[in-house]
Amino acid sequence: MRTIKLPSGEQVSAIGQGTWYMGDRKGEATREIAALQLGIDLGMTLIDTAEMYADGGAERIVAQAVAGRRDQVFIVSKVYPHNASRSGVPAACERSLKRLNTDRIDLYLLHWRGGHPLAETVAAFESLRQAEKIRHWGVSNLDVADMEEIARSPGGGECAANQVLYHPNSRGIEYDLLPWCETRGIAIMAYSPLGHTTSRLLRSPALESVAKRHGCTPAQVALAWGLRFPNVISIPKASDPDHVRENAAAIDVVLTAEDLAEIDAAHKPPGRKQPLDLL
């Protein structure tokens, strides 16, 4: 598995595993845990979750999946905006630590911007980092202006990642946010890299054509496309073992200039500033 370097120099898997919608149904728990464990075996050792997902249920699934192998994985979780105050962040973190059955979160993110000042959230993150409750912190769904505000905040230079929607049908970040982060060594974590409605994106004639040339699937082309940038981490979610293997194998797909031109022709890159896409 190829790795991406965080600002600290730490390396994390370029393809990780998402958990949005995991933990919603008790009958699916065994299957979800097994899928995450298979993903770890295949090198997708970064696992992304959040207190929001299934009201903490996804964090509990992650805890069971990493039991006995915590040191092999890099756990990412997120705090709700309404919990992102100076006192709310540590309280939320403690709840997540308990659900994850761990003593630290490797990367803790602000899920999206809310009513609490960003500087206050940064201060809370920094306190948690110094207390070794979290190892790194970052943000999610923040655009350039927000990132610049983060950078101006005391301790803001420690921001390690920004998790945003990114796939061939959602390319607005390429205009300014992605290069802004790349220049500063901040990782971009691409959520829903196969599209929120995967069937629509994966029926793209361009992706199908490129996949045929490489002897792979359109999903693998979509993942390889996002990973063409050196600071992008992709976090597809999969509960089916075949899909887990398919995601992991995408790391071996290397797109050519011809491939990228064909995708660009069908899925236009941004020519101007666009509002940040959100789900």
The residue ranges of DSSP E strands in the chain, in sequence order, are 3-5, 11-13, 17-18, 46-48, 74-79, 105-110, 134-140, 159-165, 187-191, 232-234
Angle between helices 218-226 and 241-249 (to 10 degrees): 50
Q: pLDDT tens across 145-183, in order?
A: 999 999 999 999 999 999 999 999 999 999 999 999 999
pLDDT confidence of residue 198: 64
- The confidence score (pLDDT) of residue 188 equals 98
pLDDT score for 196: 78
Q: Return the domain boundaries, the chain.
A: 3-266
143, 120 in Cβ contact below 8 A?
A: no
Overall pTM > 0.75? yes
Sign of CA dihedral 123, 162, 141, 79: negative
What confidence score (pLDDT) does residue 199 get?
72
DSSP 22: T
* CB-based contact 146:110 (threshold 8 Å): no
Sheet holding 187-191, edge to edge: 17-18, 46-48, 74-79, 105-110, 134-140, 159-165, 187-191, 232-234
What pLDDT does residue 166 have?
Answer: 97
* 3-266: CATH class: alpha beta
Give the active site residue among 21, 53, 80, 191: 53
- In the residue annotation, 53 being an active-site residue is answered as yes
Stretches where the chain sits below pLDDT 70 are 197-198
249, 233, 130, 153 alpha-carbon torsion, rounded to 10°: 180
